Amino acid sequence: MAGKKVLIVYAHQEPKSFNGSLKKVAVDELSQQGCTVTVSDLYAMNFEPRATRKDITGDLSNPEVFSYGVEAYEAYKKNCLTSDITEEQKKVQEADLVIFQDKLALLSLTTGGTAEMYSKAGVSGDVRYFLWPLQHGALHFCGFKILAPQISFAPELSSEEERKAMVASWAQRLKSIWEEEPIRCTPPWYFGE
């Protein structure tokens, strides 16, 4: 949808990978729709995943006992978080899709295992079980409305043709992504009634 801002948080080491293809079609399709698309390519940025004292510039409010939660909150209020964090926060605040507070988030994942393995009776259990901590515990908790996840099962075990079909179905879905209703992000969605 023209004018919408989309942030893609992308975490894969290899641009030529299947994940790289999924990212590329998303950028292409959404740009064609007239969206402004920003990609946070975490590996390319060498993004620091550790939550440490280095995230806070200047003095601590309690240098005796370091509490990351307390200090990060104080630093947030005083604008004393490091720029690599505030830059990402800004992207999230500005975006309409993949975003904080009453906006939309969509997880696009690839798996090692097949769809059967990620079924209720499979060795890995329903794939929705796996999504609970991230989709519900993190994203929904932070105020996101959640679109149904896009799960590309086992690209490594699939044929070239099947992989192309997965990429195509992702591109196809994105054509009407703005009309989708969020899921009801409650336990029954994850664990059944």
Task: Provide the binding-site residues for a second copy, judged by CB under 8 A.
Answer: 13-14, 16-17, 43, 46, 49-53, 64-69, 112, 120, 124-125, 129-130, 132-133, 136-137, 187, 190-191
Classify the C-alpha dihedral 60-84-98-44 as positive or negative: negative
Complex with a second copy: residue 94 or 116, whichever CB lies closer: 116
Note whether 78 and 113 are within 8 A (CB): no
Complex with a second copy: residue 33 or 124, whichever CB lies closer: 124
CA distances from 23 to 85, 118, 143, 183 (A): 22, 23, 24, 22
Give me the least distance between CB of 125 and a second copy, in Å please: 5
Complex with a second copy: residue 46 or 79, whichever CB lies closer: 46
Maximum separation of any 2 CA atoms in the chain, in Å:
59
Give me the least distance between CB of 36 and a second copy, in Å please: 28
Complex with a second copy: residue 14 or 160, whichever CB lies closer: 14
Give me the least distance between CB of 177 and a second copy, in Å please: 26
Q: In one letter, which amino acid is 132?
A: W
Give me the least distance between CB of 15 and a second copy, in Å please: 9
Complex with a second copy: residue 19 or 97, whichever CB lies closer: 19
Could you identify the residue written with the tokens 């993190």?
138
Nearest to 19 by CA among 167, 174, 176: 167
CA dist., res. 188 & res. 193, Å (int): 5
Give me the least distance between CB of 160 and a second copy, in Å please: 14
